[in-house]
């Protein structure tokens, strides 16, 4: 069995799964229950400045019959009394010495305020501190949260204040509501933080109620942007995680990264590890299904690691990072085409309409006699399941015209029915970057480009 | 025998409950939205099924119902009575490995939505001044009338019986379709401007000559005749299956149901009769059929259903005589048969096995062995095919200007409501072309 233990910037936990700083870690009772269920750690819901909350805090984005593809919230940091939080943190840590107890903090941007909160957190015996530079709603209007995370200079300055008094590892949590995630991360590095975590929630409006015309969720006739999280944000989080892994300053600093943003399954977790996260935080999936999901997160990850021959978590971390590349470094000679397995195909024709209407028109309907036929080519008097099923044409890719866009592969509802088959293009490998250097005129002049295509046998219809 | 201990008149409620809004939304979301979908091909009226289902998924019930009605005016009836396993659901691409989409129940959900709210989605077309008489207000006649009204023609719909709707009103058991559903569709067609005249004996009043004189075109949708005679002694004690079903719909409290019921026949009507008998208190119901399981005309899912209802089946038994004492049925005498050569129906014909007489005890015998051919055909001197009215590709009979559709022309294939609807729709368009182009 794979060893799931981690040591994250000196914070140890029996598995890489921590509850993110959020409603699930609002109280000692909840964190106790989570640790009983098997969670490796918990980042306490942010404590710090005094707040008052509103009701109707959470909106959700549902799609089809899938509930909570994402959640958005306007809940602020902990509204429980500061001292109660500190007492419960200390109790939890005493009761669970082997688990990671990290405390998230956010106070006004004054050195004394930060010094005070850091010292008081350290007095609880907590294992680490996470600086919340991420919340995009409410606190940001008061100059905290993402108002800090969006300005690298503030980020560096405040982290510097924290590091003046910190005796336990400090994690800087980044907001994704920024055009380049690398900048605040570099600020954290410059301020000598011990680790980085990302992503916090994204600005969002969940929707409008079509009966009342109110914003969802409705807060006394008003509504507004809130923090967006859940499965729908995972690709955004993975991209930002990889961006840090590819930055020479951030990567060179060797600061560990705690990854989060839509992790719901062990597969998601493995992807975050492969792109460089060495601890994982989870919130929305727990808010949907409860603490019990930790069992399959650990079990599935462990089984996958065993299958792949990974002995421990550090073996996995960052394994796929080197494959993340800019467009200019992709091999322009790589060729893949779609091929449809006729045995598996259920003839829904979703690939046909997607390719025909919105891609490259290279899938045909072929009837029993091998002829290309238009859709709906049946007599109006024909009916019944035998006619409908028996006369249904096959969908076949014209491989010579397929550009390998992969849209059909994505829309196909049947597993392993459409394969993207790698074919030799007959052209030497070349990247756009190489082309720009070796034949710059081809990359700048359409006539030269056409001549180059002709020479290379590249025909685009 | 009425109100016997096992009486279960509540058992005649519609079998499938309506889908809740949530159930419908979840089921609709499961639909893959196939392009050029096989379910649409399989539907005889070619309803754009993915389109109406997508509209349920998005909460656009009005649009969903309209999408159904555009192809099939009797969408509420068809949602209930169609043999979906043989049609749309049978062709669903999810059927091979998973459960097909419950298309029939989703269609019912959309149709019930508009009927319950009294929403009319269709309007009569701009008046053309052309007049069409439609004879017979069953599914084909109702559809043809409604489609013609949508095209702006003035339609008079004649019906022999007191209520319109044909078999949907009188012949489909309540378990599958409550009578109100059929009558709501009749009312909808009337609101399109169709003039309905019930209790009319076409041939006498109005006469055929009246019809030819008063209308620009005729559409015959007269269905079939009564159940044929078995020609066996004691037949006068046998209850007619269609009457049996009709009584169960119009006035179930007056329906006499035996304790030990034998149903002769193994088609869908026979199954309906057996189901009613079982649900209204018969202790034992046996279906008797002179051929085997392989030749029975009931749909496989109906056969499965009736077995689950606890009905017994006696195959390869040919009725010979009804035994009665003092007017009370005692037994049906049958002879065992074996199947011989293929007959004109394409099925192997039964041949009696000498000395193999059996007595099946019964206190009620119901026959459901098909229906006679339409009689109006001969009055109108129409050409026929196997006794059915012969029509061309435009549903026009051998007499110009006289069109026909529905069961009365069904010389080939199985008669069904949805086929009748499609006939009515296609015939209406053919009549329209004729009236507009040659008017």
* Cα dihedral: B109, B110, B114, B115 (round 10): -50
Last residue of a domain, one of A275, A308, A323: A323
Q: pLDDT of A277-331, one tens digit each?
A: 999 999 999 999 999 999 999 999 999 999 999 999 999 999 999 999 999 999 9
Domains of chain B (ranges; CATH) run: 9-116 (1.10.1060.10), 131-225+372-438 (3.50.50.60), 235-367 (3.50.50.60)
Q: What is the pLDDT, as a whole number, of residue B406?
A: 96
Residues A308 and A361 occupy one common structural domain: no
A443 is a domain residue: no
List the end-to-end C-alpha distance of chain A, in Å, as a whole number. 53
Residues A255 and A293 occupy one common structural domain: yes
Residues A17 and A100 occupy one common structural domain: yes
Can you name the residues that pair with B209 across neighbouring β-strands?
Answer: none
Task: Say whether B93 and A347 touch across the interface (CB within 8 A).
Answer: yes
Q: pLDDT of B205-257, one tens digit each?
A: 899 899 999 999 999 999 998 889 999 999 999 999 999 999 999 998 899 99
Distance from CA of A139 to the nearest CA of B (A): 36
Residues of B with CB under 8 A from a CB of A: 25-26, 29-30, 32-39, 41-44, 46, 57, 85-87, 90-91, 93-94, 96-97, 419, 422, 426
Inter-chain Cβ pairs, chain A and chain B, closer than 8 A? 73
A249 is a domain residue: yes
* Cα separations in angstroms, A48 against A107, B24, B26, B88, B407: 5, 47, 44, 61, 80
A91 is a domain residue: yes
A428 touches chain B (CB under 8 A): no
Residues A107 and A120 occupy one common structural domain: yes
Average the pLDDT over B361-378 and give the result. Answer: 90
DSSP type of residue A211 = T
| Residues of the domain holding A363 | 327-429
A135 is a domain residue: yes
Q: Residue B86: which of A382, A384, A413 has the nearest Cβ? A: A384
Average the pLDDT over A365-392 and give the result. Answer: 93
A461 is a domain residue: no
The DSSP result for B148-209, as a single string, is HHHTT-EEEEE-SSSSSSTHHHHTS-TTT--HHHHHHHHHHHHHTT-EEE-S-BTBTBTBHH
Q: Which of A346, A349, A366, A385 to mutate to test the interface with B (most CBs of B within 10 A)?
A: A385
Q: pLDDT of B371-404, one tens digit each?
A: 988 887 777 889 999 889 999 999 999 999 999 9
Residues A333 and A270 occupy one common structural domain: no
* Radius of gyration of the CA atoms of chain A, in A: 26
**In the structure, what pLDDT confidence band is assigned to residue A256 with cuts at 50, 70 and 90?**
very high
Q: Residue B32: which of A348, A376, A385 has the nearest Cβ? A: A348
* Radius of gyration of the CA atoms of chain B, in A: 23
**Assembly ipTM:** 0.88
Nearest chain B Cα to A347, which residue?
Answer: B93
Considering only CB atoms, which chain A residues are within 8 Å of B46?
Answer: 380, 383
Provide the 3-class DSSP secondary structure of residue A374.
coil
Considering only CB atoms, which chain A residues are within 8 Å of B29?
Answer: 64-65
Can you name the residues that pair with B321 across neighbouring β-strands?
Answer: B333
**In the structure, what pLDDT confidence band is assigned to residue B439 with cuts at 50, 70 and 90?**
low
- Positive or negative CA dihedral for A347, A351, A355, A361? negative
The reply to whether A135 belongs to the active site is yes
Average the pLDDT over A229-238 and give the result. Answer: 98
**Mean model confidence pLDDT for chain A:** 96
For residue A135, the domain's CATH number is 3.20.20.70
A36 is a domain residue: yes
Q: pLDDT of B105-152, one tens digit each?
A: 999 999 999 999 999 999 999 999 999 999 999 999 999 999 999 999
What is the Cα A149 distance to its own chain's centre?
18
Last residue of a domain, one of A275, A290, A323: A323
Q: Give pTM, 2 decimals.
A: 0.90
Considering only CB atoms, which chain A residues are within 8 Å of B426?
Answer: 380
List the end-to-end C-alpha distance of chain B, in Å, as a whole number. 60
Phi-psi region of B217 (alpha: psi -120 to 50; beta: other; left: phi over 0): beta
Q: What is the pLDDT, as a whole number, of residue B98?
A: 76
Q: Which of B29, B93, B420, B421 to mutate to test the interface with A (most CBs of A within 10 A)?
A: B93
Residues A142 and A279 occupy one common structural domain: yes
For residue B335, what are the contacts with CB-CB under 8 A and spacing of at least 6?
Answer: B317, B318, B320, B352, B353, B356, B357, B358
Q: pLDDT of B65-107, one tens digit each?
A: 999 999 999 999 999 999 999 999 999 999 876 799 999 999 9
**In the structure, what pLDDT confidence band is assigned to residue B336 with cuts at 50, 70 and 90?**
very high
Share of chain B above pLDDT 90, in %: 84
Of B396, B392, B389, give the one whose Cα is nearest residue B432.
B396
Question: How many independent structural domains does chain A possess?
Answer: 2
**Distance between CA atoms of A350 and A407, rounded to whole angstroms?**
10
Residues A90 and A179 occupy one common structural domain: yes
**Distance between CA atoms of B295 and B315, rounded to whole angstroms?**
10
Q: How many CB atoms lie within 10 A of CB B335?
A: 20
For residue A48, what are the contacts with CB-CB under 8 A and spacing of at least 6?
Answer: A77, A78, A82, A105, A106, A107, A117, A132, A144
The active-site residue out of A135, A351, A362, A417 is A135
Of A235, A283, A278, give the one whose Cα is nearest residue A254.
A278
User: A405 near A354, Cβ under 8 Å?
Assistant: no
Of A419, B23, A29, A4, give the one whose Cα is nearest residue A18.
A4
- Indicate whether A392 pLDDT > 60: yes
Residues A391 and A260 occupy one common structural domain: no
User: B49 near B39, Cβ under 8 Å?
Assistant: yes
Q: pLDDT of B260-305, one tens digit each?
A: 999 999 999 999 999 999 999 999 999 999 999 998 989 999 999 9
**Mean model confidence pLDDT for chain B:** 93
For residue A411, the domain's CATH number is 3.30.70.20
Tracing tokens 């980042």 back to the chain, one arrives at A43
Task: Say whether A349 and B35 touch across the interface (CB within 8 A).
Answer: yes
Residues A118 and A186 occupy one common structural domain: yes
Residues A334 and A229 occupy one common structural domain: no
Q: What is the pLDDT, as a whole number, of residue A141?
A: 86
Nearest chain B Cα to A357, which residue?
Answer: B35
- Positive or negative CA dihedral for A405, A410, A411, A413? positive
Considering only CB atoms, which chain A residues are within 8 Å of B36?
Answer: 349, 352-353, 375-376
Residues A366 and A240 occupy one common structural domain: no
A341 touches chain B (CB under 8 A): no
A455 is a domain residue: no
Average the pLDDT over A192-211 and give the result. Answer: 96
A441 is a domain residue: no
Residues A312 and A398 occupy one common structural domain: no
**In the structure, what pLDDT confidence band is assigned to residue B5 with cuts at 50, 70 and 90?**
very low
């Amino acid at each position: 069995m794979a060893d799931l233990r981690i040591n994250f910037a000196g914070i140890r936990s029996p598995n890489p799964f921590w509850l993110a700083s959020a409603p699930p870690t609002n109280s000692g009772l909840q964190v106790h229950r989570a640790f009983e269920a098997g969670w490796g750690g918990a980042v306490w819901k942010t404590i710090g400045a005094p707040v008052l909350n509103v009701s109707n805090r959470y909106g959700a984005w549902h799609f089809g019959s899938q509930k909570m593809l994402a959640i958005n919230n306007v809940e602020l940091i902990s509204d429980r009394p500061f001292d109660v939080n500190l007492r419960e943190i200390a109790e939890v840590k005493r009761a669970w010495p082997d688990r990671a107890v990290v405390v998230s903090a956010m106070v006004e941007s004054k050195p004394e305020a930060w010094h005070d909160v850091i010292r008081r957190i350290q007095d609880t015996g907590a294992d680490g501190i996470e600086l919340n530079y991420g919340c995009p709603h409410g606190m940001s209007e008061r100059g905290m949260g993402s108002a800090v995370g969006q300005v690298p200079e503030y980020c560096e300055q405040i982290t510097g204040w924290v590091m003046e008094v910190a005796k336990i590892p400090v994690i800087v949590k980044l907001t994704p509501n920024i055009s380049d995630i690398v900048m605040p991360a570099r600020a954290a590095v410059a301020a000598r933080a011990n680790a980085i975590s990302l992503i916090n929630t994204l600005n969002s409006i969940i929707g409008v109620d079509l009966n009342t015309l109110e914003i969802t969720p409705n807060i006394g006739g008003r509504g507004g942007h809130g923090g967006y999280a859940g499965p729908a944000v995972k690709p955004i989080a993975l991209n930002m995680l990889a961006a840090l892994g590819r930055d020479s300053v951030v990567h060179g600093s060797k600061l560990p990264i705690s990854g989060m943003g839509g992790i719901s399954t062990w597969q998601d977790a493995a992807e975050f590890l492969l792109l460089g996260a060495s601890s994982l935080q989870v919130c929305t999936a727990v808010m949907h299904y409860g603490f019990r999901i930790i069992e399959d997160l650990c079990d599935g990850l462990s089984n996958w690691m065993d299958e792949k021959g990974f002995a421990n978590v550090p073996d996995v971390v960052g394994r796929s990072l080197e494959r993340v590349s800019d467009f200019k470094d992709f091999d322009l000679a790589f060729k893949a085409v779609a091929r449809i397995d006729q045995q598996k195909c259920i003839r829904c024709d979703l690939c046909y309409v997607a390719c025909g209407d919105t891609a490259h028109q290279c899938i045909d309907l072929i009837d029993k006699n091998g002829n290309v036929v238009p859709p709906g080519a049946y007599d109006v008097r024909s009916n019944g399941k035998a006619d409908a099923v028996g006369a249904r044409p096959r969908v076949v890719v014209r491989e010579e015209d397929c550009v390998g866009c992969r849209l059909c592969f994505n829309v196909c509802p049947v597993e392993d029915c459409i394969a993207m088959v790698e074919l030799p293009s007959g052209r030497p490998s070349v990247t756009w970057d190489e082309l720009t250097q070796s034949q710059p005129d081809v990359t700048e002049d359409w006539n030269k480009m056409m001549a180059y295509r002709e020479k290379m046998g590249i025909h685009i219809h | 025998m009425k109100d016997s201990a096992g009486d279960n008149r509540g058992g005649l409620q519609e079998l499938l409950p309506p889908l809740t809004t949530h159930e419908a939304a979840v089921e609709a979301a499961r639909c893959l939205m196939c392009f050029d979908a096989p379910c649409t091909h399989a539907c005889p009226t070619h309803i754009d099924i993915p389109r109406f289902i997508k509209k349920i998924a998005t909460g656009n019930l009005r649009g969903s119902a309209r999408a159904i009605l555009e192809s099939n005016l009797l969408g509420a009836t068809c949602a209930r009575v169609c043999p979906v396993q043989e049609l749309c659901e049978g062709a669903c691409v999810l059927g091979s490995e998973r459960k097909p989409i419950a298309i029939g129940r989703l269609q019912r959900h959309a149709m019930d939505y508009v009927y319950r709210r009294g929403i009319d989605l269709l309007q009569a077309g701009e008046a053309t001044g052309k007049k069409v008489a439609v004879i017979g207000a069953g599914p084909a006649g109702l559809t043809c009338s409604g489609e013609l009204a949508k095209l702006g023609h003035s339609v008079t719909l004649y019906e022999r019986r007191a209520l319109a709707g044909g078999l949907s009103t009188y012949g489909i058991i309540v378990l599958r379709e409550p009578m109100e559903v059929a009558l709501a569709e009749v009312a909808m067609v009337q609101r399109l401007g169709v003039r309905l005249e019930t209790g009319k004996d076409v041939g006498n009043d109005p006469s055929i000559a009246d019809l030819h004189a008063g209308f620009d075109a005729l559409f015959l949708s007269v269905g079939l005749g009564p159940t044929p005679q078995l020609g066996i002694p004691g037949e006068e004690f046998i209850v007619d299956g269609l009457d049996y079903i009709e009584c169960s719909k119009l006035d179930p409290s007056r329906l006499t149901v035996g304790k030990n019921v034998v149903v002769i026949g193994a088609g869908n009507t026979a199954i309906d009769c057996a189901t009613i008998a079982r649900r209204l208190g018969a202790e034992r119901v046996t279906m008797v059929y002179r051929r085997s399981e392989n030749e029975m005309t009931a749909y496989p899912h109906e056969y499965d259903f009736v077995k689950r209802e606890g009905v017994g089946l006696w195959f390869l038994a040919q009725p010979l005589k009804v035994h009665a004492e003092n007017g009370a049925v005692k037994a049906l005498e049958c002879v065992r048969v074996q199947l011989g050569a293929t007959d004109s129906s394409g099925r192997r014909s039964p041949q009696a096995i000498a000395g193999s007489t059996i007595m099946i005890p019964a206190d009620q015998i119901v026959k459901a062995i098909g229906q006679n051919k339409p009689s109006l055909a001969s009055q109108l001197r129409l050409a026929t095919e196997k006794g059915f009215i012969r029509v061309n590709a435009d549903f026009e009979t051998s007499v110009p200007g006289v069109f026909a559709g529905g069961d009365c022309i069904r010389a080939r294939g199985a008669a069904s409501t949805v086929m009748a609807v499609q006939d009515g729709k296609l015939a209406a368009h053919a009549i329209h072309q004729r009236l507009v182009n040659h008017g």
